[in-house]
Amino acid sequence: MSSATLSPALKQATPVVVDHAKGSWIHGTDGIDYLDFTTGIGVTSTGHCHPKVVTAAQEQCGKIIHAQYTTVMHKPLLELTDKLGEHLPAGLDSVFYANSGSEAVEASVRLARMATERPNIVVFQGGFHGRTVAAATLTTAGTKFSAGFSPLMGGVHMAPFPYAYRYGWDEATAVAFALRELDYLFASRVAPNDTAAFLIEPVLGDGGYLPTPPAFLAGLRERADKHGIILILDEVQAGVGRTGKFWGHQHSEGLIPDILITAKGIASGFPISAIAAPTSLMAKAWPGSQGGTYGGNAVAAAAGVATLQVIAEENLVENARIRGDQMLRGLSELAPKFPQIGDVRGLGLMAGIEFIDGDGKPDAVAAAAVQQAAIPEKLLTLTCGPMGNVVRLIPALVVTEEEMATGLNRFEAALTAALG
């Protein structure tokens, strides 16, 4: 007999052990009901254990659990593809499924390289794209995601992100700077004709909850068109209604990506991810070049179908917009009471609160103290940002007005407890 424990490589943000959960609430084995403003890092879009998602998954379990999609096709995946198609940007009519965000990110890079026969991928500072070695290479949201296991994948180059608050500029100046630096990268180090893709999130997630300015995305689109570069939008965290539009990039009017990546919120907690692209582009990956044992799992796909139904029936994209406004308004009212809050920003139900010290420098200690102080206030939150100085709030799309008000009150109590 031997005993095992969980790896110390897992870093727990809270000591909570879940007994059960429902909607916006997690009931711990400590008997406490916590308001969950983490949603499993932006995953449980329809809330925990939405009855329609639970039923769909249970019913699918009785039919077939694992119908390996390169061996036999199954109905839930065909249905999910139909339903997802109703939301995909014009022309992105072909979908490939995997399990996690990281895998889908890798699939998009594989496709972009195969399609263009070019090696380089340009990413933007603070982007988070996953934990596998290739996805970690593409990630610049913190050295903790890639330090210590080099060599990483080749051909990845980082350009600045228009982080207006950090530079102390207005948005237009930050965008002009970041586009100028991108052009300089093209002139100095990475030839555009050797560049397969730009990879960017519509809202930086783990990198600090920073909405990507529409003018920056438009600048990328323009350069992508000019040089035959593929624009990949990583909607893993910002997609599926979270920002108050179905996709985060829809805040940039008229913007169409070449490849869109989705995961997380698409199936309310069941592991499934996808990339979507025009068939003409997708066809440049030869048959068999993408695949996987569990990708597009039948139970996860059934949960995905139910998730999209619930989002439509319960008007959850609109709810995300309205409750998101409530959240940002509430946080903006709190901010002046605490000099340690340097910036409050977000889009829909993605809010970032950036903490600074007396010299205006990033203050990770304050952010961690607030996140920890929220736990006894029965509010679960997470930190993020390369400097660790941002607290992020990611409620479920089903969050009610009252729950949001409770969350804001509890957050204020945590700020007071941690910062005085």
Our finding on whether 263 is near ligand PMP (CB under 6 A) is yes
- Identify which range of 88-96, 122-130, 149-157, 282-290 contacts ligand PMP by CB under 6 A: 122-130
How many residues bind to ligand PMP according to rule CB under 6 A? 16
Please, what is the minimum distance in Å from the beta carbon of residue 139 to ligand PMP? 8
Cα radius of gyration rounded to whole Å, the chain: 21
| The only residue of 46, 60, 81, 102 in contact with ligand PMP, by rule CB under 6 A | 102
CB nearer to ligand PMP: pick between 263 and 301: 263
What residue is closest to ligand PMP based on CB? 101
Residue type, 41: I
236, 266, 308, 393: residue in contact with ligand PMP (rule CB under 6 A): 236
Least Å from the CB of residue 100 to ligand PMP: 3
Q: Which of 100, 116, 340, 383 binds ligand PMP (CB under 6 A)?
A: 100
Among 201, 354, 363, 377, binds ligand PMP (CB under 6 A): 201
Q: Write down how long the chain is.
A: 420
Query: Please, which residue, 64 or 153, has the CB nearer to ligand PMP?
Result: 153
Among 87, 108, 197, 206, binds ligand PMP (CB under 6 A): 206
Give the per-residue contact string, 22-51, with ligand PMP (x = CB under 6 A; - = no): -------------------x----------
Nearest residue (CB) to ligand PMP, 257 versus 330: 257
Closer to ligand PMP at the Cβ: 38 or 100? 100
What is the number of alpha carbons within 13 Å of residue 307 lying toward its C-beta? 33
Q: What does each C-alpha distance from 386 to 100, 185, 353 come to in angstroms?
A: 22, 22, 14
**Residue labelled with tokens 């207005």:** 170
Give me the least distance between CB of 111 and ligand PMP, in Å please: 16
364-374 and 401-419 are packed helices; what angle lies between their axes, rounded to 10 degrees?
130
Among 36, 106, 234, 403, which residue sits at the site for ligand PMP (rule: CB under 6 A)?
234
CB of 416 to ligand PMP, least distance (A): 30
Residues 126-185 within binding reach of ligand PMP (CB under 6 A) = 128-131
Nearest approach in angstroms of CB 206 to ligand PMP is: 6
Q: What's the min distance (Å) between Cβ of 32 and ligand PMP?
A: 26
Please, what is the minimum distance in Å from the beta carbon of residue 173 to ligand PMP? 26
Closest contact distance (angstroms) between CB of 234 and ligand PMP is: 5
Q: Is the dihedral of CA 406, 408, 413, 418 positive or negative?
A: positive
Segment contacting ligand PMP (CB under 6 A): 47-55, 218-226, 229-237, 301-309? Answer: 229-237
* Residue written as token pair 């992508």: 224
Is the Cβ of residue 186 or residue 246 nearer to ligand PMP in the bound state?
246
Dist CA 272 CA 295 (whole Å): 7
The interaxial angle of helices 214-227 and 171-188, nearest 10 deg, is 20
Q: How far apart are CA 336 and CA 320, in angstroms?
A: 25
Residues lying near ligand PMP in the complex (CB under 6 A) are found at: 41, 100-102, 105, 128-131, 201, 205-206, 234, 236-237, 263
